[in-house]
Structure 1
Amino acid sequence: MGGGFAGLACARELGGKPIRVTIIDRNNYHLFVPLLYQVATAALSPADIAQPIRRILRRHDNIEVVLGEAVGVDPQSRRLSLADGSSLHFDRLVIATGSRYNYFAHPEWEPLAPGLRSIEDARLLRSRILRGFELAERQPDPHRRAELMTIVIVGAGPTGVEMAGAIAELAHYTLARDFRHIDPGAVRILLVEAGKQILTSFPDGLSTYARRRLEAMGVEIMLGKSLEDIDGDTLVIGGQRLRAGTIIWAAGIKASPAAFWLQAECDRSGRVRVATDFSVPGHPHIHVLGDSAAMNDEAGQPLPALAQVAQQQGRYLGQSLSREFTGRAPLPPFRFRDRGNTAIIGRNAAIFDFGKRRLKGRLAWLLWAIVHVYLLVGFEKRLLVSIQWLWRYFTYQRGARLITQPPPPLSQGLPDQGKRAAMPTDDNERMKPGDQAPAGTEGTGENLCPTCGGGGRLNGEPCPNCEGTGKVIEGIGGG
């Protein structure tokens, strides 16, 4: 179950062996998640970091690929239930379904502050970021324009830091000459972190370097501040209310529902506690890998939810199962070998932690690029990404600046202009997309829209209901 780093690594180890393997994923592609933020910031296209699973495994005749979504497991009958009502029998089950963002008992925040775990998430965030600049370009009110050009990132781990740096470069360089009425460089980027430091998984010296580089790029960092509420485009952070055109969630993850299906013991993030062979206690024929598995290292610390951890676990389990089914001696218990941890801040600025050896600056940035190109699946992807990075380095251009997602519906109220379009008009009727903006009545001249003549003008502010067409526009200002 799962065609991510762990599941794919396990399947490839079993390729060509006298074992019948079925790999199931809701998507037909393997996604290189570490570069997903570059899709969200228009540096790469989705196809640059995704590879069809069938193509990756095409040389292994013993592996079958199934497009489907698992919805439950029956350990007793050894059957896996799929969303289409079908089920599959298994001798061994490997659960490598990854993780999702944790909104900490506030699921209503998810549509308002999407995270970054899928191509759909990246396209949505890219559209919201770019649409914020487009709406600001047409907004005559300077205060409202500044709100539309405010981007809040909740969480200052690697994803939050890389997003902040990439958005800053997008605004200051790529979009600098694209607009006539706004300065994209005036964008306000806020990076919110409840802890006392960003990038807490890195040594203090490296995280301090990253913070200073971000601040030099114009990113405002709010440390020791917790997000308390989100209402439309309004946030409450540490008791302070502010409005933003785009809100991005990067504040924590939780495991897939595998623990719930198995009724197994799990940690506070929902990860299943596994034995040294990744089997589930009480279910020796079921194994859990990657972000779904809770396992400690030799020092007793939980293994982090990183791609290198998932890949090493997948390769180990694939080799272990192959040895078991072919009658060879078992492998020794799994031992994670830390290959280093890295994060990029911006152009010529990255950090690399090798344990005893630590790098920062241009050399770390170059190593970051080499490592990520190497880890991409397929020579074609490595070549395409390398060429695009070189082109962007010398030209500052990002070719994937496409708004492909529609604005949120009025019912979501994203952001405030969308909320106003759904508010009662002067004649006490709610306006719906496509309705004619109602004409104002005598004596209400201040409420009339000078463009459409409708009653959509509120408190002297510009009409949010039309774009000069006289019709209600669905999702005006929508993120």
Structure 2
Amino acid sequence: MPKRPSVVVVGGGFGGLEAARALGGVDADVTLVDKKNHHCFQPLLYQVATAALSPADVAWPIRSVLSSQQNATVIMAEVSGIDLEACAVATSDGLRIPFDYLILATGATSSYFGHPDWAQYAPGLKTIEDATRIRARILSCFERAERLQDEASRQQAMTFAIVGGGPTGVELAGAIADVAHNVLARDFRRVNPRSAKIFLLDAGKRVLPTFEEELSEYTREALQKMGVEVLAGCSVTNVSEDCVTLSDGRRIDCCCTLWAAGVRASAAAAWLEAPADRAGRVIVDDSLRVSPHRNIFAIGDVAASTSEGKPVPGLAPAAKQMGQFVGSLIAQELSGESRKPEPFVYRHQGDLATIGRKSAVVSLRRIRLKGSPGWLFWSVVHIYFLIGLRNRITVAINWLWEYLTFQRGARLIS
């Protein structure tokens, strides 16, 4: 029998999964390669990091997601390079996977702006492993404070610095404040977790810079009411194990520093020897192809793309739209259609960020929500986009339980 065309998707995130699904009815072999066996719902990782949810609540096995798609095969392996001449994907364990079409959806990691040594002191939040390590670090700070005798040392042990005032930084800061003020306050005897200090640092003029100024200012005021000190307009010049130094000379002595400022794309550009932007993202054309290769595409956080003259943001909805677009484009070409494809057009679906308990901001076309209405809208949207009915029900029950009892059941140091 004639060999069917082979489409290889590297990366099981939002874009990669959407591309694989879009190829479900195509007469081709679809192979999805990822070094993890699960898809992670990154927008809720901060809730794992702050003990509101367990890892299984925000992740789903990739094999299970694609189990009903008969033309799809899942391979758990770490990609180490691309052989362009042989049209094959190479993995770190020696496997070679030939392709007729290649979709790179390898995502991004935290960028420390030329200071990779800061990563050991200020972890970023991109994976389940990151979230569980951060959870252990946050909870261990309070445990350490309970053992200390000196009041100054206790205060330092309950001081947290979050670098980056985007949605992830805002959500981490608000969630840590909730943990300190509402969850742990009754559990300790020698220290008062409500006295914890949380600093949110950003080099820009305001937090949530992609939101309208009104919502940004509301977020700043809401965080300050929760006990979070927002320091905008000052950059970080040094990070050490127990201290963060700012450009204005201030020094924050802290037990825990978390990084939510900037990302850098994976090594896909180096694999392809392709042009990349300053963040390492592969520069693609209006069909998301990596020039001059007509059969190689890059999508999601690893792609530097534009839509109607504007850069496409590194958001989950953008990655999903890219995956759907590329999957449909390949399906069209495999079916023999010769018409020129329309360029990729990103449809912005809005911006959302939760601030803390019963508070969030939403910017959706002409709709602006804040406070409790925003929080309710944010909750419904995130539950809806989770993969799997079990995850949706579990997350909804956990949030309701926390709302009624002020308790978080995933407070494990592991």
Task: Please confirm whether the aligned pair reaches a TM-score higher than 0.5, indicating the same fold.
Answer: yes
| Post-superposition offset of 1:92 | 0.7
1:212 correspondence with 2:221: yes
- Name the CA distance, whole Å, in 2 between partners of 1:348 and 1:235: 30
- The one-letter amino acid paired with 2:263 is I
Q: Hey, what does 2:322 align to over in structure 1?
A: 313
| Post-superposition offset of 1:357 | 2.6
Q: Hey, what does 1:127 align to over in structure 2?
A: 136
Q: Which runs of 5+ in 2 are unaligned?
A: 1-9
- Name the CA distance, whole Å, in 2 between partners of 1:232 and 1:246: 8
| Post-superposition offset of 1:240 | 1.7
Give a deviation string over 1:129-178, Cα, whole Å, max 9, x none.
Answer: 00000010010000011001000000110000000000000110010100
Give 2:194's match in structure 1, choosing from 185, 205, 209: 185
| Post-superposition offset of 1:34 | 0.2
- The one-letter amino acid paired with 1:295 is S
1:172 correspondence with 2:181: yes
- Name the CA distance, whole Å, in 1 between partners of 2:303 and 2:50: 31
- Name the CA distance, whole Å, in 2 between partners of 1:399 and 1:330: 54
Give 2:380's match in structure 1, choosing from 356, 370, 374: 370
1:334 correspondence with 2:334: no
- Name the CA distance, whole Å, in 2 between partners of 1:301 and 1:147: 44
1:360 aligned counterpart, secondary structure? strand
- The one-letter amino acid paired with 1:257 is A
* Aligned pairs, number: 403
Q: Hey, what does 2:118 align to over in structure 1?
A: 109
What RMSD in Å do the two structures reach over aligned CA positions? Answer: 1.0
Structure 1 residues 47-446: aligned runs within 5 Å: 47-238=56-247, 239-298=249-308, 300-328=309-337, 329=339, 331-404=341-414
**33-42 or 339-348, which deviates more:** 339-348
- Name the CA distance, whole Å, in 1 between partners of 2:346 and 2:209: 20
Give a deviation string over 1:328-384, Cα, whole Å, max 9, x none.
Answer: 355422111111111000122111111333221211111101110011011111111
- Name the CA distance, whole Å, in 2 between partners of 1:309 and 1:57: 21
| 8 A contact 1:78–1:89 mirrored in 2 | yes
| Post-superposition offset of 1:394 | 0.7
- The one-letter amino acid paired with 1:22 is T
- Name the CA distance, whole Å, in 1 between partners of 2:87 and 2:253: 51
| 8 A contact 2:236–2:246 mirrored in 1 | yes
Give 1:23's match in structure 2, choosing from 14, 32, 36: 32
- Name the CA distance, whole Å, in 1 between partners of 2:218 and 2:323: 34
1:196 aligned counterpart, secondary structure? coil
| Post-superposition offset of 1:182 | 0.4
- Name the CA distance, whole Å, in 1 between partners of 2:380 and 2:298: 30
Q: Hey, what does 1:42 align to over in structure 2?
A: 51
Give a deviation string over 1:176-224, Cα, whole Å, max 9, x none.
Answer: 1000000001000000111110000111011000000000000001111
Give a deviation string over 1:380-425, Cα, whole Å, max 9, x none.
Answer: 1111111111111111110000000xxxxxxxxxxxxxxxxxxxxx
1:283 aligned counterpart, secondary structure? coil
- Name the CA distance, whole Å, in 2 between partners of 1:390 and 1:32: 20
| Post-superposition offset of 1:18 | 0.9
Q: TM-score, normalised by structure 1?
A: 0.83
- Name the CA distance, whole Å, in 1 between partners of 2:17 and 2:68: 14
Q: TM-score, normalised by structure 2?
A: 0.96
- Name the CA distance, whole Å, in 2 between partners of 1:353 and 1:242: 33
Identity %: 48
Q: Hey, what does 1:444 align to over in structure 2?
A: none
Q: Which has the higher strand share?
A: 2
Q: Hey, what does 1:450 align to over in structure 2?
A: none
2:44 aligned counterpart, secondary structure? helix
| Post-superposition offset of 1:260 | 1.3
Runs of 4+ aligned residues of structure 1 deviating over 6 Å after TM superposition are: none
Q: Hey, what does 2:4 align to over in structure 1?
A: none
| 8 A contact 1:320–1:330 mirrored in 2 | no
| 8 A contact 2:287–2:342 mirrored in 1 | no
| 8 A contact 1:324–1:330 mirrored in 2 | no
1:279 aligned counterpart, secondary structure? coil
| Post-superposition offset of 1:270 | 1.0
Give a deviation string over 1:70-102, Cα, whole Å, max 9, x none.
Answer: 011122221111011221111111000000000
| 8 A contact 1:28–1:67 mirrored in 2 | yes
1:265 aligned counterpart, secondary structure? coil
- Name the CA distance, whole Å, in 2 between partners of 1:242 and 1:352: 31
- Name the CA distance, whole Å, in 2 between partners of 1:197 and 1:215: 13
- The one-letter amino acid paired with 1:71 is S
| Post-superposition offset of 1:231 | 2.4
- Name the CA distance, whole Å, in 1 between partners of 2:220 and 2:259: 19
- Name the CA distance, whole Å, in 2 between partners of 1:231 and 1:92: 45
2:294 aligned counterpart, secondary structure? strand
Q: Which runs of 5+ in 1 are unaligned?
A: 405-479
